[in-house]
Structure 1
């Protein structure tokens, strides 16, 4: 072509300038035709600048070949995404004949996407991530994802039903009996074979893909496993900014899943990574909420998270308090008690920290309702460790820490230990005695008010006053336990009453010893504190 026909100058994204024939290009491109009509100098040389041409200079060159080759160009799976975007951008769906219509030609290949190989589909997807947002606007991405998701779901449906255990990322639940290792490996492969290929996609495409999969009720456990795999694979070679984007994307997507199906161990691993990267506060809160909502699955090691850099205390107790806040609500008592046991272990671990403030330690104790613990022995053990390490605390601060103790839930062993424990303030020991006496009186009153229909003689009155209530109460329990002549079907009731009898005797002896010990303690408090040795750990 002679130079005088090169009357259209096209600057493509600042990458390259093309000199082409405007009549030739405008005959295939509705956009160029429209721009030329608006031009003041339609007969002379015209310059057009594109700042957002899909696929850049290389793709524009393909468009010019199509125009100069009378509407013919080699369309394949490598260039179809780029050519489709460029064709719609250049409005090449308005040419004279269908054979010259580039948009029509690309659509024919898209219509046969179900016959593409997996590799061809992945090639097109990788191109799409360089063509956003145009690839999404012209529904190219939708076509790729529809085919991709269809293949993934069909492969999973033909394999045994696998579900990830929320407590262990390696746990599987099968809908059928799998008896061989080979069968297990094949089943796992049929649900995860696509993981490695999709790691090549950027976070924008992953976000779109996972949201589409979730909307089709795909297994949350498998999606969760893929997201953890994606995060692990991409972080290794990512820059600091890329790490933040990857982590935030994964957390946002995990939050859209059924969290009960997501590996709990993997959530904690993700948290430990996120704590070292400056992700947004919103994403961090979402991750903590996901972990906290399933706190009854956690272990002590999970909770022993080192304190943030620059803080003197050993463990991050604030994050554990936030976990507890997310957990509490309408949870079954069984789950609540499981967390109660876990928190007693955690309290014993953090108690020896010399930098842990009394207010924060008390907040940990009081973070759970009283119903979460059947016994206060674990809390007593932790408080004892704390007071032993923080021996320089004032009596006022010691009493504040002791406010977390429910004395009525102490076992007799813990109660006796507290009575001779110099670490505790006197007021705490007095409150313990009062609580134990109140518990004994309540026990006797409950016994007195019991209504036995089979034996009208089983009612008695208590007219005891002061310290005589324990002696008389226990005597009456013994008396009526001997007099009862119950039928066979009431043997359980008899056994229960006899148990109450021995409990009352035990509490009576404890209270009597406490009264004697309290008198001695009040007289020799100062000398006891100076000569007190560390007590052994409470075993109950």
Structure 2
């Protein structure tokens, strides 16, 4: 009787109060799923707000599926009930599949009517009991609408497929991200993009621990986020460093491919300091980080120095110049920055010297492999005068000063020209 009175009040007002909703929750004890669907349809016909219908569905769905509850206690009770249930595992899973498909069918079509975390828990259960692909696609579409509201805990859906070797369903998250990126700009704002980028970086850091995670999957998910969506690349750098630590056998070209995802200009000073001493990164990536930090410090020094001259900051602002920094650096801070710049330059020079030494060793090894008779052309010297001599080889003209390199044939030719009799060459074993 009380429930009928509440429905009549919904008819007249159209917007029930929170007190009325709580009374409905306390009064209704729905044990049959068919009756629940009929009741929800009646409430929809009364013109009730979608948010209230969504709260009703999320409240009562945990009575049939404890997996959908946000409380760990309810989830533990549900698992215990399944273990103690006299029904077979197959019958229990068939019932769960029926409940999930029914709940998906009664969800309000509006965007924010149901919380995103509830939809993710529903999707996890749907993947576990292997619902029909149409219901799963509907859930993925609805989650992509509000992916920026998801939490990392709910996004870490296990992989229930036997063909997938990873613990987490990375392909599912990649589909959700691609669906979100393909949304219209009315559904996807700039702030939402930044939240999703941060969420994906945190997810990658957790998934990178799995030794079975393929490099192509990691790069596909990390590269799906546009570069402008990340305000900082610290989270991405943490995920890549975790992946390299968990996969020590990654080849050098693959390490370079991973490091190309990072924009060294968007790293914080703490992340740059860690990357500069990280032996898991390629040398080229470390040099780029050092150059980026040096450029940042030089820019900061130039900016602070531009307001320390004869012109006052207020004059520069009135003339249309840039705004000054929050405060001018002290002399001690300037000296500390100059020492840091000097240290960075020394590190860069040391790395360049090591690279040159390695390149020289490689060239010497290649020369030994070619042999000493690998010239393209061998030319005889052409003499100009007694002081400067040049000869042409296969690569160009080379000049010698102060001496002439003589061979037996050239020496005999010079003596014949001067009218002298050439001496007979004797055979020698030396």
Counterpart secondary structure, 1:261: coil
TM-score (norm 2): 0.63
TM-score (norm 1): 0.51
Segments of 5+ residues of structure 2 without an aligned counterpart are 66-81, 359-430
Q: Which whole-Å CA distance do the structure 2 matches of 1:267 and 1:422 have between them?
A: 42
Following TM superposition, by how much is the alpha carbon of 1:483 offset from its aligned partner in structure 2, in angstroms?
Answer: 1.9
Counterpart secondary structure, 2:323: helix
Query: 1:243 — aligned with what?
Result: 96
Following TM superposition, by how much is the alpha carbon of 1:188 offset from its aligned partner in structure 2, in angstroms?
Answer: 4.7
2:169 maps to 1:316 = yes
Q: Which whole-Å CA distance do the structure 2 matches of 1:517 and 1:154 have between them?
A: 79
2:255 maps to 1:395 = no
Of the candidates 275, 283, 304, which is equivalent to residue 135 of structure 2? Answer: 283
Cα deviation 1:150-187 (Å, max 9, x = unaligned): 4372598696x23xxxxxxxxxxxxxxxxxxxxxxx65
When residues 395 and 248 of structure 1 are mapped into structure 2, their CA distance, relative to the original with a 3 A threshold, is same
The number of residue pairs the alignment matches comes to 324
When residues 489 and 483 of structure 1 are mapped into structure 2, their CA distance, relative to the original with a 3 A threshold, is closer
Following TM superposition, by how much is the alpha carbon of 1:514 offset from its aligned partner in structure 2, in angstroms?
Answer: 4.0
2:126 maps to 1:269 = no
Query: 2:23 — aligned with what?
Result: 190
Following TM superposition, by how much is the alpha carbon of 1:345 offset from its aligned partner in structure 2, in angstroms?
Answer: 2.2
When residues 286 and 509 of structure 1 are mapped into structure 2, their CA distance, relative to the original with a 3 A threshold, is farther
When residues 225 and 515 of structure 1 are mapped into structure 2, their CA distance, relative to the original with a 3 A threshold, is same
Query: 2:178 — aligned with what?
Result: 325
When residues 440 and 479 of structure 1 are mapped into structure 2, their CA distance, relative to the original with a 3 A threshold, is closer
Deviates more, 1:478-487 or 1:228-237: 228-237
CA RMSD of superposed structures (Å): 4.0
When residues 118 and 388 of structure 1 are mapped into structure 2, their CA distance, relative to the original with a 3 A threshold, is closer
Query: 2:348 — aligned with what?
Result: 515
Query: 2:53 — aligned with what?
Result: 223
Instruction: Please tell me whether the aligned partners of residues 375 and 409 of structure 1 are also in contact (alpha carbons under 8 angstroms).
Output: yes
Query: 2:150 — aligned with what?
Result: 298
Counterpart secondary structure, 1:283: helix
Q: Which whole-Å CA distance do the structure 2 matches of 1:233 and 1:155 have between them?
A: 30
Of the candidates 465, 474, 478, which is equivalent to residue 305 of structure 2? Answer: 478
Deviates more, 1:150-159 or 1:332-341: 150-159
2:200 maps to 1:370 = no
Instruction: Please tell me whether the aligned partners of residues 289 and 326 of structure 1 are also in contact (alpha carbons under 8 angstroms).
Output: yes
2:211 maps to 1:354 = yes
Q: Which whole-Å CA distance do the structure 2 matches of 1:520 and 1:307 have between them?
A: 48
Cα deviation 1:81-102 (Å, max 9, x = unaligned): xxxxxxxxxxxxxxxxxxxxxx
Following TM superposition, by how much is the alpha carbon of 1:206 offset from its aligned partner in structure 2, in angstroms?
Answer: 5.1
- 1:110-509 correspondence runs (5 A): 150-151=7-8, 153-154=10-11, 161-162=17-18, 187-193=20-26, 195-197=28-30, 199-200=31-32, 202=34, 207=37, 210-211=40-41, 213-234=43-64, 240-254=93-107, 256-310=108-162, 311-328=164-181, 329=183, 330=185, 331-433=188-290, 435=292, 443=299, 474=301, 478=305, 480-487=307-314, 493-495=323-325, 498=328, 508-509=341-342
Counterpart secondary structure, 1:495: coil
Segments of 5+ residues of structure 1 without an aligned counterpart are 1-116, 120-146, 163-185, 445-473, 526-540
Following TM superposition, by how much is the alpha carbon of 1:283 offset from its aligned partner in structure 2, in angstroms?
Answer: 0.7
Following TM superposition, by how much is the alpha carbon of 1:224 offset from its aligned partner in structure 2, in angstroms?
Answer: 2.0
When residues 476 and 280 of structure 1 are mapped into structure 2, their CA distance, relative to the original with a 3 A threshold, is closer
Instruction: Please tell me whether the aligned partners of residues 344 and 379 of structure 1 are also in contact (alpha carbons under 8 angstroms).
Output: yes
Q: Which whole-Å CA distance do the structure 1 matches of 2:290 and 2:122 have between them?
A: 48
Instruction: Please tell me whether the aligned partners of residues 351 and 386 of structure 1 are also in contact (alpha carbons under 8 angstroms).
Output: yes
Instruction: Please tell me whether the aligned partners of residues 11 and 46 of structure 2 are also in contact (alpha carbons under 8 angstroms).
Output: no
